[in-house]
Structure formats: structure tokens, C-alpha cells
Amino acid sequence: MGFSYREGRLFAEELDCETLAEEYGTPCYLYSRAAMEAALAEYHDALSGCEHLVCYAVKANSNLAVLDTLARQGAGFDIVSVGELERVLAAGGDPGKVVFSGVVKRREEMHRALELGIRCFNVESEAELEVLQEVAAALGKRAPVSVRVNPDVDAGTHPYISTGLRENKFGVATDVAMKLLRHGKTLPNIDVIGLDCHIGSQLTDMAPLLESLRQLLVMVDTLEAEGIRIHHLDLGGGIGVRYKDEEPPAIADYIAAVRKALGDRKLCLVFEPGRSIVANAGVLLTRVHYTKETDAHSFALVDAAMNDFIRPALYQAWVDIQTTAPSEEPIRTWNIVGPVCETGDFLGKDRDLALAPGTLLAIHGAGAYGFVMSSNYNTRPRAAEVMIDGSSSQLVRERESIGDLLRGEHRLRQ
Ligand code: LLP
């Protein structure tokens, strides 16, 4: 399923990647519909028999075809902007299955989300709760609310993607959350329905996730005793994937542990996975244009750059880079670098590969936080995105043109 090598040639489901690169050009993202469906099914299967909602984190890969794929399989969505909400609608998703996270929700964003009747606002501060009350009152609606708890646990991941420590901007401490929930209960246009938590991304150990859950359950029980009934627990996303040799928990094992901790409490379980659904369902294809030897390194100069895929430059993330067909070239050690004018513009360093100008390379694990984090730096048009479904392929985002990049800009009037 997804991407596999057959006699040294890379296949995207049933299609040869060399042929796809010729058809769609490079750089180009390929996604496997079957791989995404299978990853979502792992969550759904592990949750069967328990009230639940899997809200795919749109930020991980927001292409309409990706959202469409997941919506058709019953997914809900975790959004962080009204833009993501409009994407969910455009892709045929159900706003009634949307949870809205993020520390800055603007009034107009709240307004639109209330109008559409989203499932829940994951409130991250006292001030936000007050504004939400006002916006809901003006609309004559009640806003369903969960409070995001910052449990002050170390997720053990890269500091830029750790979110559950006291010093982070996300959520509120447990005591503040209790205050907010009690206060929310007294507000006329607020419906307190849940508690949520998201402590970070690319987690390879489930212990911090279970520690956060333990804290949430203490809160649920205390509130219950006060007559405040919590309907759902949203445990966020964060389950890591294997890029190299990481050993993230299996989704089934993680969910089994969550269900065990829940005991016989009647709570709906909500999850917001992003990476674990799409990362390994995507590759980025890029072609080697030149090679260059220096005293220090052998460089393979490719047509994808940090503007197309920023994870190596931004987080020093290691991603697997492979050729897509057998080659007669000798294996040598390469730094794989792009055309952008920065030394930080690299995709991989010290990779043993048999390549030459013209060789097509695949960057694996590029389905999550890939295209969505791309930019037009150096006036580089953004890559094409292609969805693979068995032996058919569909262009689901056209490659940008230079015209697209200049649209909306103006020379001086005089
Ligand atoms: N829920 C919330 C509130 C989040 O902030 C995130 C991710 C998720 C769910 C999904 O987390 P996941 O299951 O994908 O770990 N650009 C970074 C990752 C940033 C994650 C931001 N929040 C990267 O490329 O590693």
C-alpha cells in the first residue's frame, strides 16, 4: 500500500514514479489515497464500540482532495483558521464534525464557525471565552466549548513542536481551566461540553500523552462531583511516525491504553491526528539537475528547495531520500541541496546514493507539513500535487505559474 519499491523502481500504489514525474513535472508531491484511508481506519478500528470522533488536523495537509478522501471515510476536522474551515466545506466535510483550535480566533472567525454550527471551540484563554460569549450572544446562539488544558508535561520532541509545557503559549494551566469551566457554565451563550489537550507533535513515547490524560480525568471527576458534566475529551494529535528509525507507539496500542485509563466513564473520545494520517502517504519527487564537487562535499543540486519542503531547514528533520530507479552510477555520499540562496537550503546531508544529473529522487514522509508549509521565496512557484488511487492519478493542485505569483501586485501609481 502507498509507496513501495519493485525491483528498485518506486511505485505510488500501482504507478511508476518515473512516469508520473514525466507527466506532472518536478518538483511534485504525490499522495496515496489508500495509505491515508488505511491510517484513518487504524484510528476508527481501535475506537470501535466507543463513542468517538477523529478530527484530522487540517494543517498537516490541507489539499481539498486529501480532505475529501478523509471526509468520505467519516473523519471530522481540527481547524485553526476560518480558511481551513472554508476548505473543509469546499471538500464536502461536515461542519458539525469540526473542532476549532488556536490561540487567536478572531471575532469574524468565531461568527462564521457559529453560523455553520461547528462541533466545538477549543478555547485557549479567559479573554477568548469572553469574546466568544459576546459573539454568540450577538448571533443568538450558544457556543459549544472545550477548554484546552496545558498539563505542563514534556512531550520529548523538538522544542519548536512541543506545546504542553507551562512556558508555551498554548492552553491554560489545570487550575485556570477549572476556573474557566466553572465560569463558562454560568455564561448564557456558552455550552461547556469538553476538555482538550495537545502537547506536541512527532511524539515517540506515549507516557506524556497518558500523563496528560490522567490530569484531564481528575478534572472530569472533580467537575462531575460539582454537577458539571463533561461530554467529550479531546486528546489532540501528536502520535509520531517513522522517518528513519523512530519507534512511535502503534495507534492501536495508544488508543487501547487511553480506553483502559477511561475505565467506565461515559465520555466521547476525540482525537486530532495530522502527521500519523498523512506523513507516510506522501512523497516529494525532485530531479537532480547538476552535481558539483568541492573540497568539502559532493553536492547534488535538485529542483526542490526549502521553499517546497522546509522541515529539514527548520527543524533539522531527517527525511529519507532515495532514487526511484536502479542506476549504473557508483554509490557516493551526497548533500542534496536546492536552488534557494541560503546555506540552510538542504533536503538531506551525507546520503549514500547512486545518482547523476537527470536522476529522479523521492523524499519520503513528505505528506505531512510538506506542501502546506511551502512558500514563494525566491519567486519560486509552488509545486504540483497529485493524488494516486490504484492505477489512476489526478492532478489535485496545479503547479503555480509565474503569473499566479505576480497577481495582486502593483507597480507605483506615479
Ligand atoms: N491539534 C493541534 C491543536 C495541533 O496544534 C496540532 C499540530 C495537531 C492537532 C496535529 O498534530 P500531529 O498529529 O500532526 O502531530 N510543522 C511541524 C509540526 C507542527 C505541528 C503543529 N500542531 C513539523 O513539520 O514537524
Residues 242 and 135 in one domain: yes
Residues 235 and 370 in one domain: no
pLDDT of 158 above 90: no
Residues 107 and 183 in one domain: yes
Phi-psi region of 132 (alpha: psi -120 to 50; beta: other; left: phi over 0): alpha
CATH number of domain containing 173:
3.20.20.10
Domain that includes residue 357, residue range: 3-30+279-406
For residue 322, give every residue at least 6 positions away whose Cβ sits within 8 Å of its Cβ, in sequence order, or none. Answer: 5, 10, 353, 361, 362, 364
408: CA distance to ligand 1 center in Å?
31
122 CB-contact burial (10 Å; exposed 0-12 / middle 13-18 / buried 19+): buried
In a domain, 412, yes or no: no
Residues 82 and 68 in one domain: yes
Ligand 1 pocket residue status of 60, Cβ below 6 Å: yes
380: CA distance to ligand 1 center in Å?
26
Q: End-to-end CA distance of the chain, in Å?
A: 59
Residues 230 and 263 in one domain: yes
Residues 392 and 244 in one domain: no
pLDDT digits (tens, 9 = 90+) for 337-394: 999 999 999 999 999 999 999 999 999 999 999 999 999 999 999 999 999 999 999 9
Q: Which whole number is the average pLDDT over 30-55? A: 98
Last residue of a domain, one of 246, 277, 308: 277
Report whether 275 belongs to an annotated binding site.
yes
pLDDT digits (tens, 9 = 90+) for 401-411: 999 999 999 99
Sheet strand arrangement including 3-6:
3-6, 9-12, 15-16
Last residue of a domain, one of 277, 301, 336: 277
Q: Which whole number is the average pLDDT over 257-264? A: 97
Residues 269 and 292 in one domain: no
Active site residue 341: yes
Last residue of a domain, one of 277, 295, 326: 277
CATH number of domain containing 350:
2.40.37.10
Residues 197 and 128 in one domain: yes
110: CA distance to ligand 1 center in Å?
21
pTM for the structure as a whole? 0.97
Q: Count H helices, E strands: the chain?
A: 12, 20
In a domain, 127, yes or no: yes
> What ligand 1 atom has the least distance to the C-alpha of 196?
3
Residues 96 and 138 in one domain: yes
CA separation for the pair 251, 270 (Å, rounded): 14
